């Protein structure tokens, strides 16, 4: 009887859950290197910001953003295929478990305000399940989610996150791989189409002057068009509500509280 009652409560709560239609999360990556990054906090709407560890303005940005209830992620540098310069706090394939987890733990300790983590570059590291497992072990202990920037189609990051019970989600669109206004508009159109077809979508952008100028104009228009700008954690939560609903519909009636 207790199990039936519990499942009944779950069904009732899920039935009352709000609808999620045309929601968009935009994450601004690469924050922390420049004083001008502080101006990102003037952008309209609920955006999320991913901060590079151990950068000159990382902690100041985090403090100011927290005062304004802006959502923050840690933007962890991870080894790329091209072996680009990653900056401090980078995770590489040469690291053993202790080195990787210590490096990640130190970066997280400098930015206690973050709610999640995503990868900076990482097209080499995220292809390997072992370093991703070590990464997710840290995030699980700290109760953080993972946003896969999906810098490679061969990424193992979300698979590892699922193995360790870390809530996770993947990026859909890069807004400014080509930082021109025409390209930005084209990518934003793609983002809106995705949000309309699947109720929500996630974009990543960067603090380029062209991008910031574009977003200052585009974000109010986006809201006026009926899209809702939300923190990326809200779409992570939505994903797991949907999964719970799907699992519930596949349970036998007696497990769902139905006689």
pLDDT tens-digit map of 120-158: 999 999 999 999 999 999 999 999 999 999 999 999 999
> d(Cα 222, Cα 198) in Å, to the nearest integer?
17
The closest alpha carbon to 199, from 150, 175, 234, belongs to: 234
Sign of the four-CA dihedral 114, 117, 121, 124: positive
pLDDT at 99: 98
Is the pLDDT at 11 greater than 70? The verdict is no
Confidence of residue 91 (pLDDT cuts 50, 70, 90): very high
209-240: burial string, b at 16+ Cβ within 10 Å, e else: eebbebbeebbeebeeeebbbbbbbbbbbbbe
pLDDT-above-70 percentage for the chain? 88
DSSP 177: S
Give strand ranges (E) for 97-215. Answer: 116-121, 145-148, 168-170, 173-174, 200-205
The answer to whether residue 111 scores a pLDDT higher than 80 is yes
Confidence of residue 22 (pLDDT cuts 50, 70, 90): very high
**pTM of the shown model:** 0.88
Please state the domain extents for the chain.
21-248
Mean pLDDT of 19-34: 90
152, 126 Cβ separation under 8 angstroms: yes
Give the span between the Cα atoms of 247 and 153, in whole angstroms.
Answer: 27
Give the whole-angstrom CA distance, residue 159 versus residue 211.
31
Sign of the CA dihedral with 158 first, then 162, 168, and 172 last: positive
Looking at residue 20, its pLDDT comes to 56
- Residue 230 above 90 pLDDT? yes
Burial status of residue 168 (CB atoms within 10 A of its CB: 0-12, 13-18, 19 or more):
buried
Q: 80 with 151: CB under 8 angstroms?
A: yes
Return all residues near 249 (Cβ < 8 A) that are at least 6 apart: none
pLDDT of residue 222: 97
What is the model's pLDDT at position 120? 98
Radius of gyration for the chain, computed over Cα atoms and rounded to the nearest angstrom: 19
pLDDT digits (tens, 9 = 90+) for 44-58: 999 999 999 999 999
- CATH superfamily membership of 21-248: Glycoside hydrolase/deacetylase (3.20.20.370)
């Amino acid at each position: 009887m207790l199990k039936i009652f519990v499942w009944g409560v779950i069904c009732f709560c899920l039935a009352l859950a709000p609808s999620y239609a045309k929601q968009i999360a935009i994450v601004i990556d690469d924050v922390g290197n420049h004083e001008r990054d502080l101006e990102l906090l003037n952008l309209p709407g609920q955006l999320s910001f991913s901060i590079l560890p151990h950068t000159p303005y990382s902690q100041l940005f985090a403090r100011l953003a927290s005062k304004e209830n802006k959502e923050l992620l840690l933007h962890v540098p991870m080894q790329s295929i091209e072996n680009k310069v990653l900056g401090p706090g980078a995770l590489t394939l040469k690291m053993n478990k202790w080195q990787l987890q210590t490096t990640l733990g130190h970066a997280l300790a400098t930015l206690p305000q973050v709610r999640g983590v995503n990868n900076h570059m990482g097209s080499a590291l995220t292809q390997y399940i072992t370093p991703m497992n070590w990464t997710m072990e840290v995030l699980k202990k700290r109760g953080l989610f993972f946003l896969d920037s999906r810098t490679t189609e061969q990424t193992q990051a979300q698979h590892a996150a699922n193995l360790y019970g870390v809530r996770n989600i993947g990026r859909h669109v890069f807004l400014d791989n080509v930082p021109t206004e025409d390209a930005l508009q084209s990518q934003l159109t793609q983002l809106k189409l995705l949000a309309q077809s699947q109720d929500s979508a996630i974009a990543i952008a960067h603090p380029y002057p062209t991008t910031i100028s574009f977003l200052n104009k585009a974000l109010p228009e986006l809201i006026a068009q009926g899209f809702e700008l939300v923190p990326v954690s809200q779409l992570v939560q939505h994903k797991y509500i949907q999964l719970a609903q799907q699992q519930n519909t596949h349970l036998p009636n007696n497990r769902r509280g139905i006689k």
